[in-house]
Chains A and B, each alone.
Chain A
Amino acid sequence: MSKRKFGLVLSMILAAGTLLGACGTDKAKEKEGSTSTPKEDTFSIAMVTDTGGVDDKSFNTSAWKGIQDYGKENNLEKGDGGFDYLQSKEDAEYMPNLNKLVQRDFDLIYGIGYLLKESIEEVATQRPDNKFALVDEVSDLPNIASLMFKEQEGSFLAGVAAAHMTKSGKIGFVGGMEIPVIERFEAGFLAGVAAVKPELKVDVQYTGDFAKAELGKALANRMYSTGVDIIFHAAGGSGTGVFAEAKERKKADPNAYVWVIGVDSDQYEDGQIGDDNITLTSMLKRVDIAVKNTAELAAKGEFPGGEVTTFGLADEGIALADSRGAIPQDVLDEVAKYTKQIADGEIEVPEFKAKK
């Protein structure tokens, strides 16, 4: 009896919602015509994160920084008509989040991460007059600008630095999931190590997840225990486990020779332990620069829709972070030499890992 009641109440609520909903749409349409555009001249931007969230200390954080930088330079405020972000907790939220931003009339909407490709393409098809940008994946749609990075170039430099800095001769790589983006990291890193010391072995492992710090920590523990002294991680949130393991070892024995090479943004702060720091350097993927550049181009009316813009060493979309003294000058000189060769196109860094 009571169950039936529930159903009844529920359907009534749903029905009421439909009616109210209908009113709502009408009002929204009215708004479009009259009040919604107070500042006609500004160019507003917003982004949708992937499930990593805006605080992933990785490319979502970096993208949000780019959006904020753009906002500051153009005197925009957070919110409608300025800049904003929405976080996605589940894959199913990408589409609704993108749509929400469309409804809030942002001029350019970013989808951060390869996971948003399907969703952003679908929304972009439904809304051909809106502008979108997609990070880390390529789309052919005329109203989507694809922003790609040559992660392999920066990873190559990280490999060069690691090959020079290792004392044990053992180097580790911890990846998130075996997807094309991360495989570019791996391929570049292996090539960089091989360029300096072809005989060195790199222990390559994947956590299978970008958000499981405990898996990263377990892998790092195993690697350090077998003599690895430098680990390069490209595992997003799982990478924080690598840092945690290295810091534990440094804390237990301040003389321990353990290093982590960070990824995406400068992870120097993540490596701080007392007066020591175990971050050797970080491979910067300047999503912020890519995001900001694209916004500026679009504001000028030069939106690179349907095009793939690739950021690499040459345009500083990829770089190594300041090592703050951890890497001696002679190694830095060596790194600088390779940087120039890559930027000039003398060295072509492989994008895919060699098939085993």
Chain B
Amino acid sequence: MSNRFINLLVPIISIILGLLVGAAVMWFSGYDPVAGYIALWNGIFGDMYSIGETIRQISPYILAGLAVAFAFRSGLFNIGVEGQLIVGWFAAAYVGMAFELPKFIHLPLALIAAALAGALWGLIPGILKATLHVHEVIVTIMMNYIALHTVNALIKAVSEGGYKTEKIHQTASLRSEFLSNLTDFSTLHYGIFVALAMVAVMWFILEKTKTGFELKSVGFNDHASQYAGMNVKKNIILSMVVSGAFAGLGGAMEALGTFGNMVTRGGFTGIGFDGIAVALLGANTPLGVIFGASLFGSLKYGAGNMPNEAGVPIEIVSIVIALIIFFVASGYIIRVLLSKMKKKKEAK
């Protein structure tokens, strides 16, 4: 069996396996799996509206996935994407509503604000890790809570006691009438292009620049990097900052695209945490993240149509979706195992 063939076969088999087990779950629970999957398909690709919403859902996942993947490539586990996304969301929403500027200034400004807010939220754990060796996982988890509650307080403050920020001005919006009309009034916005641009940015940084070389080197072996004269501390901080900026832009997707404002949140969005799975599914590579985010985003969004069209209750749907993702992730494991085995053989 050739390498290419395996590479293609494994994900297909794992998706099929996931679908089969999911079907069994539906069948045993007394629902029609065929109708369920047709509903899922229609939920994702059924009409222009669904396609629009699916792509809209994918955008923040791409950015969250990039954030996790970027930090991971430098050997850091950024669990704080969630918090960075939340502060980015608020920053974008605030800049979007508080200023009145022409679009070509306002929109970039709001995006930059989101990226900066996320970067700041990544900077703190980065500095703590680099200078005091405080483990970034602990710090970033805590920073998530700080972000959530600080932002809730800020929303209250800027809305004078209310629970949501005012809508952003049109000049800061990523929404477009063109995309909306194209997709039958879906909330699809230009965010997907921002996300894809960031994929290119991450790829460029890692694969083309000197900084990328250093980041990867530090990620694989910080000792050897230090011996080679690299500034390990600087690279750790930089990695967290860039990661945070990606996450902050993920928040901007919600602020400037999907919602147009921010509402006091009782809990986390979950996008940041799903970003971990997205990054791992994509093997922490920029293009892989697109794949992971597309899978996550489409399944998540499409799943909503299963209760709507096939009457499968949302709880069963959640199990089925989780199973499919589980099998795809295991497929990745299988692939890694296969390649490891091959490597071992070659080494001997």
| Beta-carbon contact of B291 and A208 below 8 Å | no
Complex Cα distance, B54 from A10, in Å, reads 13
Complex Cα distance, B185 from A123, in Å, reads 8
List chain A residues, Cβ under 8 A from B287: 3-4, 6-7
List chain B residues, Cβ under 8 A from A25: 47-48, 184
| Beta-carbon contact of A5 and B45 below 8 Å | no
| Beta-carbon contact of A211 and B7 below 8 Å | no
Q: Give the Cβ gap from B98 to chain A, nearest Cβ, in Å.
A: 18
List chain B residues, Cβ under 8 A from A252: none
Q: Give the Cβ gap from A56 to chain B, nearest Cβ, in Å.
A: 13
Complex Cα distance, B182 from A18, in Å, reads 11
Complex Cα distance, B44 from A115, in Å, reads 25
Complex Cα distance, B263 from A91, in Å, reads 10
List chain A residues, Cβ under 8 A from B4: 1-2, 5
Decide if A249 is an interface residue (CB 8 Å cutoff).
Answer: no
| Beta-carbon contact of B314 and A17 below 8 Å | no
Decide if B57 is an interface residue (CB 8 Å cutoff).
Answer: yes
Complex Cα distance, B47 from A17, in Å, reads 8
List chain B residues, Cβ under 8 A from A90: 269-270
Of the residues B7, B152, B301, B314, contact of A87 by C-beta under 8 Å: B314
| Beta-carbon contact of B267 and A209 below 8 Å | yes
Q: Give the Cβ gap from A44 to chain B, nearest Cβ, in Å.
A: 15
Complex Cα distance, B185 from A122, in Å, reads 10
| Beta-carbon contact of B264 and A179 below 8 Å | yes
| Beta-carbon contact of B305 and A100 below 8 Å | yes
Proximity string of chain B (179-212) to chain A, C-beta cutoff 8 Å, 1 when within and 0 when not: 0000011110000000000000000000000000
Decide if B244 is an interface residue (CB 8 Å cutoff).
Answer: no
Q: Give the Cβ gap from B59 to chain A, nearest Cβ, in Å.
A: 11
Proximity string of chain B (328-341) to chain A, C-beta cutoff 8 Å, 1 when within and 0 when not: 00000000000000
List chain A residues, Cβ under 8 A from B304: 86, 89, 93, 96-97, 100
List chain A residues, Cβ under 8 A from B239: none
Complex Cα distance, B294 from A101, in Å, reads 25
Complex Cα distance, B152 from A177, in Å, reads 10
CB within 8 Å of B: which A62-91 residues: 79, 86-87, 89-91
List chain B residues, Cβ under 8 A from A4: 287
**Interface residue tally on A, bucketed by range:** 35 or more
Given A5-B7, A5-B8: A24 and B314 interface contact (C-beta under 8 Å): no
Chain B residue with minimal CB distance to A46? B308
Decide if A28 is an interface residue (CB 8 Å cutoff).
Answer: yes
Chain A residue with minimal CB distance to B57? A92
| Beta-carbon contact of B308 and A28 below 8 Å | no
List chain A residues, Cβ under 8 A from B187: 95-96, 122
Given A3-B288, A178-B156: A99 and B51 interface contact (C-beta under 8 Å): no
Decide if B71 is an interface residue (CB 8 Å cutoff).
Answer: no
Q: Give the Cβ gap from B302 to chain A, nearest Cβ, in Å.
A: 10
Q: Give the Cβ gap from A167 to chain B, nearest Cβ, in Å.
A: 34
Complex Cα distance, B53 from A212, in Å, reads 29
| Beta-carbon contact of A24 and B290 below 8 Å | no
| Beta-carbon contact of B47 and A10 below 8 Å | no
Given A91-B263, A118-B259: A99 and B185 interface contact (C-beta under 8 Å): yes
| Beta-carbon contact of B291 and A10 below 8 Å | yes
List chain B residues, Cβ under 8 A from A14: 51, 294
Decide if A243 is an interface residue (CB 8 Å cutoff).
Answer: no
| Beta-carbon contact of A118 and B261 below 8 Å | yes
Given A87-B314, A91-B259: A21 and B47 interface contact (C-beta under 8 Å): yes
List chain A residues, Cβ under 8 A from B48: 18, 21-22, 25
Of the residues A3, A28, A89, contact of B283 by C-beta under 8 Å: A3
Given A96-B301, A100-B308, A118-B259: A89 and B314 interface contact (C-beta under 8 Å): yes
Decide if A198 is an interface residue (CB 8 Å cutoff).
Answer: no
List chain B residues, Cβ under 8 A from A354: none
Q: Give the Cβ gap from A54 to chain B, nearest Cβ, in Å.
A: 9
Complex Cα distance, B267 from A211, in Å, reads 9
Decide if B229 is an interface residue (CB 8 Å cutoff).
Answer: no
Q: Give the Cβ gap from A107 to chain B, nearest Cβ, in Å.
A: 17
Chain B residue with minimal CB distance to A2? B7
| Beta-carbon contact of B258 and A17 below 8 Å | no
Chain B residue with minimal CB distance to A7? B287
| Beta-carbon contact of B53 and A21 below 8 Å | no
CB within 8 Å of A: which B215-262 residues: 254, 258-261
Task: Select the residue from A16, A90, A97 with max chain B CB neighbours within 10 A.
Answer: A90
| Beta-carbon contact of B46 and A21 below 8 Å | yes
Q: Give the Cβ gap from B260 to chain A, nearest Cβ, in Å.
A: 7
Which positions in A face B, CB cutoff 8 Å? 1-7, 9-10, 14, 16-18, 20-22, 24-25, 28, 53, 79, 86-87, 89-93, 95-97, 99-100, 103-104, 114-115, 118, 122-123, 126-127, 176-180, 208-212
In the complex, given contacts A2-B7, A18-B45, A92-B57, what are 15 additional A-B residue pairs having Cβ atoms less than 8 angstroms apart? A1-B4, A2-B4, A6-B291, A21-B50, A25-B184, A79-B311, A96-B53, A96-B186, A103-B49, A118-B259, A176-B266, A177-B266, A179-B163, A208-B152, A212-B266
Which positions in B face A, CB cutoff 8 Å? 4, 7-8, 11, 42, 44-51, 53, 57, 149, 152, 156, 162-164, 167, 184-187, 254, 258-261, 263-264, 266-267, 269-270, 283, 285, 287-288, 290-291, 294, 301, 304-305, 307-308, 311, 314, 318
8 A-B pairs with CB atoms under 8 Å apart are: A18-B51, A21-B47, A86-B308, A92-B254, A92-B259, A115-B263, A118-B263, A123-B185
Closest 8 CB pairs between A and B? A17-B45, A209-B266, A2-B7, A179-B163, A24-B47, A126-B185, A3-B287, A6-B291
